Structure 1
């Protein structure tokens, strides 16, 4: 079934969603939510192997652009923004939902993390958001919204999160600095921090099932989180209702982060 846009608070606005791998991706929940509010979308896919999984989803939300993006390839991100500028000439929002660390570093102690693994995790998961902000800035002539995805492990030690903890902490700090620098141009910047979700990325974490069960047990609102919940909260940040919100890490986790 196609998710058709109807007149809504984001009608006529154009945005880039980066990080859809399949129908279980947080970025896919965001794409559906933005489209439901009337936005026009550009969607990225990792490579030729990933395209068959992403292309049907792009059709479902009537994506106007479907573009390859492997952040490990020099010039790939610049090519995406060049195409956005050529086709649209503007950008009103973007969602960065991409993270990566080499499996041997992700599964090992931070103490033992290799320099190469740490730098690659930081490059793909954090630095790329800063690069996106720089490329988006000239296209957001009337202001806009930049959103990235974080996790509670940025603020507290979470078993098995390892190298991604410091990387996501850097990402959340970058959000605050970008918000301060871009705010005078009407560009808002946020991190969204979902609770545990059964995504492909989460499957790479040791002990994820235990983490999911713990969050379900301890969260004040114990309903299991869905990608649609995260998408709805993320899309709200791009509406005029959130025009004076910026620089925040927004938890979408049933309140789990407030519980000891």
Structure 2
């Protein structure tokens, strides 16, 4: 059978490439939608287009109202993951109202509170750092633990990291070490869950994105514009590109990938010596 016949040989037949993901009817929970610019929102749209049954978990009732407008067909629950009992509560609510098994969970949550303003890294405030670790990293571990009985045996859990934690971007502050902890948790979760399941844990590591959350980072626009020029195509990474990768990792098509952070940076990490950037510095 040649390639066209494999796809269907009817004249002008439209091939639905989203069928490739095989997500039709599968239940996937997404934590972290804040607004229409959120990575979580983009992932939700891709999954909905693929036919998945998307369940959203947001931080507050205000965000729940916005989420229901964006996803009128999706159940929406509230959970502030800073308190572990809230994760247990929302798990019970989802179990009662939606049921399982869950084919996947998306963790798109990050928070940093610079209570004393931006400080040099060595001046990081302990309580701010620990709060960021709790919300941005430990919540992923906690969600995995408390939702394990609802997961399908081969479920996929995906979190949103960053393209590199080895670059000292001063305006990103202590969040890179927090994301490094999140990245490290992937292999440990994979190992511990392997004792009783084939559940996979991966992360999408995008370069700079144009989101509402990133807009609050001091000097982010300048960094974003630099990143755009450092990307070989001279076009910034789009949120949908990160979302597409997340959808792939949630699907059975990525069954051979676990414990990994998949970098999605449109080639930026290999192009720092771009001749145009060099010329601007030395001219």
TM-score (norm 2): 0.84
Candidates 12, 17, 34, aligned match of 2:30: 17
Candidates 218, 225, 233, aligned match of 2:237: 225
* Residue 55 (structure 1) aligned with residue 68 (structure 2): yes
Of 226-235 and 216-225, the range deviating more from structure 2: 216-225
* Residue 203 (structure 1) aligned with residue 203 (structure 2): no
Counterpart-to-counterpart distance in 2, 1:253 and 1:88: 36
Structure exhibiting the larger radius of gyration computed from Cα positions: 2
Candidates 168, 177, 197, aligned match of 1:157: 168
Counterpart-to-counterpart distance in 2, 1:221 and 1:237: 25
Residue equivalent to 1:41: 54
Counterpart-to-counterpart distance in 2, 1:77 and 1:206: 31
Shift of 1:245: 0.7
Of 68-77 and 155-164, the range deviating more from structure 2: 68-77
Give the secondary structure class of the aligned counterpart of 1:95.
strand
Q: Which runs of 5+ in 1 are unaligned?
A: 1-5
Q: Which runs of 5+ in 2 are unaligned?
A: 1-17, 273-283
Candidates 96, 99, 103, aligned match of 2:107: 96
Shift of 1:72: 2.5
Give the secondary structure class of the aligned counterpart of 1:15.
strand
Give the secondary structure class of the aligned counterpart of 1:67.
strand
Structure 1 residues 176 and 257: CA distance shift in structure 2, 3 A:
farther
Cα-to-partner distance string for 1:48-103 (whole Å, 9 max, x where unaligned): 232332220121xx21x210011234521111111222221321101101111113
Of 19-28 and 96-105, the range deviating more from structure 2: 96-105
1:175-254 superposed matches below 5 A? 175-183=186-194, 185-254=197-266
Asked whether the 8 Å contact 1:105–1:117 carries over to 2, the reply is: no
Moved runs in structure 1, 4+ residues, more than 6 A? none
Residue equivalent to 1:71: 81
Higher relative contact order (CA 8 A, sep 6+): 1
Residue equivalent to 1:139: 150
Counterpart-to-counterpart distance in 1, 2:25 and 2:117: 41
Candidates 113, 116, 120, aligned match of 2:124: 113
Counterpart-to-counterpart distance in 1, 2:193 and 2:50: 25
Residue equivalent to 1:257: 269
Asked whether the 8 Å contact 2:163–2:265 carries over to 1, the reply is: no
TM-score (norm 1): 0.91
